[in-house]
Structure 1
């Protein structure tokens, strides 16, 4: 483990190019997080590392800077391979790398994930890329069909390696490790450290430096409460908590896909602005769900742990676990989604009779015994959580050279909508999404559907 007292704290102390320092400044990075301070000097020195750090600790920027620092733009071939457990995480990682590469010339980052047609990926691979980010299964499929050459790979990253193993990607990961040059640098990041991670590390690298990052200070600002379900149905208990707490947004974790959908349906019936996220949804529906939740068009997201892994949600007021997670590491991961960046957060766990054993295991990590509280009864007049925004989906994206500024211009062209009426904008390869106030949605749709943007017509619809 590295000594945090002697680690650098400012990016300017590292051997980074002026272009990377410029991108960091433009992206708002000021001081390094603990994981960056401990791992970046080692990564930039070219050493292999195994980093154990919680989600939200800043690990993506750490390995992204390591990749970009050694990238040779003149070689238009894959030089870095980043493996992720889910498409959602892969998209976020790719976007983070693009952001940090903004001041560098012509860095191409390509995302390769399952759940979407391969034909567009095949076309992109034919045009070449410097960095490949994706899920192990889809990348191996392309490799087996000779669409990817790994001979120039200088950096291999396994992000959230523990979840990839949990999801059954062991064989695919082994095949990709074998396909990449032995001279590569290997970077493994994992929130937990089960025995399989130790075995995987030994397979990837014989001398990886182990860096363990303590939980961030933000985690200590999380208040945990445990409520006794008693005879209350889980969906009703969640409804009572939402009415009582009135959070700006909330994630509800369930242990099964069936329960996830059932609770989301019942909360919707109670009038809450709620969406479900689980493995039975098609990829496009998962993408739309996450866009709507992260831009504030839905205030409650009910999800399974696997589906929610790697989601980048910066501010979350409340986390509710319906029953104990399968293990204490997953419980810690759930509650760590609130109280980020120094903010205070509340994590609630609903306890039924079947949770007693796992509750006692968790209690062993506490300084004092866990006391179950009765469910709160919301005050009279409390209303369901409703979103003020709605998401519009446009039939164009990066492939059409569409930019957020173009969408803002289209929505404000007649001066009836202002920036106050427009929320977050996300432009993907094929689609673009913009959040607008519900009161302005009809007019926004008219503006987009009845006029051109950059000389081209796009169709828009409300999700």
Structure 2
């Protein structure tokens, strides 16, 4: 039996069967290194990037010691953003399917607190949430952490970056001292050691190799002259010559993020901005549009991009080089996932040699620096994305389900099923991606018809 086989662990047969059905055939590196330790109840520091399979690394030990008959909160996972919290909660629910009636709830800011209080009144086994909102519930007395067995800090480095240290310390004070604490981080700044010292007892430490094989992610630096116009034109040339279907462009500041996305839109790209000053509703819509492939470029800051999980992302572009070389590794790790190839391009100024040297030292082979003039300057407009997002003014509160929207589009309106993409349902709104040639027919058909027996307002965004 392979050491990477889940069967090599002493797990319940029903859990093994569920993992197999979910496609967990072999353990990833972080799972293989951490699970034998965490299943023994030991604290852990795990260094692993997004997409490495770390959710299962903490979900499996959390679930194996859960008492399903006790509806007190036994597991708490803290995440830096609402998006990551939602993603983690969904993954835990899938893994937990081998046991009936396991309740996992998310408690995040940007959402009304009333319904969350209602959910807590009915009990829960596991809570996943952001530090600010968890602290709000503790202040109101609506959250009881006295039965916590497993405490998880996911993406601890970003929570530190976002200034959540005091909130986490406050939250930990409501838990039993006798608990298992698992800390996961993509990078290991000096603060993490103090973080661990405050919350953990003799933790084991595991680290997954974070450099990317050259065969998996092609990395190129393009040298540009100093100046805003030169950097903008360099970015355009990269997009025009390498033509990624979808790319994430990273900037170091919110203002640069907004400026670059505006520049790209002025040059014909459907480009979206994602940065920390945005309202939650606007962030949700931005992520919906990018993840359903109705936008070509997402321009983001590091903190705002946490929790984005886009399959088959073609390219990552560093408009600004990060100050920390581990942040660079984390950024480019969003492409080339699950054995697929990806591309990572960086705009490079001659004055940034020290940053380049630090980044280069973490690679398995040197990254080439090319002159931007090697790339042609095209004047033609870029191709539009394959999909278009259509918004409906009804959601979960109106009992709308994905099948209702899919049925209206494919049955009543007659749009082929392969022309309908992702469907996202929120409390009071729904979004569906439709192939661009079918978009007008879809909008008109939805406006003229009914869903769940009622008229819905529809718009193309």
Q: So what's the TM-score if we normalise by structure 1?
A: 0.92
Residue 161 of structure 2 corresponds to which residue in structure 1?
Answer: 166
Q: Match for 1:205 among 196, 200, 204?
A: 200
Unpaired runs of at least 5, structure 2: none
- Find the aligned partners of 2:292 and 2:410 in 1 and give their Cα distance: 19
State the secondary structure of the residue aligned to 1:102.
helix
Give yes or no for the alignment of 1:314 onto 2:311.
yes
Cα RMSD of the aligned pairs, angstroms, is 2.3
- Find the aligned partners of 1:127 and 1:393 in 2 and give their Cα distance: 33
* Deviation of 1:373 (Å): 2.4
Residue 188 of structure 1 corresponds to which residue in structure 2?
Answer: 183
State the secondary structure of the residue aligned to 1:101.
helix
Residues 111 and 134 of structure 1 are in contact (CA less than 8 Å); yes or no, is this contact kept in structure 2? Answer: yes
CA offset digits 1:270-321 (Å, max 9, x no partner): 1112111011211111111111111101111111111112311221111110
Summarize the alignment of residues 33-182 of structure 1 with structure 2, pairs less than 5 Å apart.
Answer: 33-182=28-177
Q: Match for 1:241 among 219, 238, 241?
A: 238
State the secondary structure of the residue aligned to 1:410.
helix
- Find the aligned partners of 1:301 and 1:182 in 2 and give their Cα distance: 42
Residues 85 and 163 of structure 1 are in contact (CA less than 8 Å); yes or no, is this contact kept in structure 2? Answer: yes
Residue 226 of structure 1 corresponds to which residue in structure 2?
Answer: 221
Residue 408 of structure 1 corresponds to which residue in structure 2?
Answer: 406
State the secondary structure of the residue aligned to 2:265.
helix
Residue 257 of structure 2 corresponds to which residue in structure 1?
Answer: 260
Q: So what's the TM-score if we normalise by structure 2?
A: 0.92
Unpaired runs of at least 5, structure 1: 1-5
- Find the aligned partners of 1:117 and 1:219 in 2 and give their Cα distance: 46
State the secondary structure of the residue aligned to 1:156.
strand
* Deviation of 1:252 (Å): 0.5
Give yes or no for the alignment of 1:286 onto 2:276.
no
CA offset digits 1:241-277 (Å, max 9, x no partner): 1111111111100111111111101111111121110
Q: 1:148 to 1:279 in 2, by over 3 A?
A: same
- Find the aligned partners of 1:145 and 1:389 in 2 and give their Cα distance: 44
Deviates more, 1:121-130 or 1:367-376: 367-376
Q: 1:235 to 1:371 in 2, by over 3 A?
A: closer
Residues 273 and 298 of structure 1 are in contact (CA less than 8 Å); yes or no, is this contact kept in structure 2? Answer: yes
Deviates more, 1:109-118 or 1:363-372: 363-372
Residues 231 and 319 of structure 2 are in contact (CA less than 8 Å); yes or no, is this contact kept in structure 1? Answer: yes
* Deviation of 1:160 (Å): 0.5
* Deviation of 1:434 (Å): 1.5
* Deviation of 1:382 (Å): 5.1
Q: 1:15 to 1:244 in 2, by over 3 A?
A: same
Residue 23 of structure 1 corresponds to which residue in structure 2?
Answer: 18
State the secondary structure of the residue aligned to 2:311.
coil
- Find the aligned partners of 2:74 and 2:102 in 1 and give their Cα distance: 11
Q: 1:97 to 1:427 in 2, by over 3 A?
A: farther
- Find the aligned partners of 2:308 and 2:289 in 1 and give their Cα distance: 13
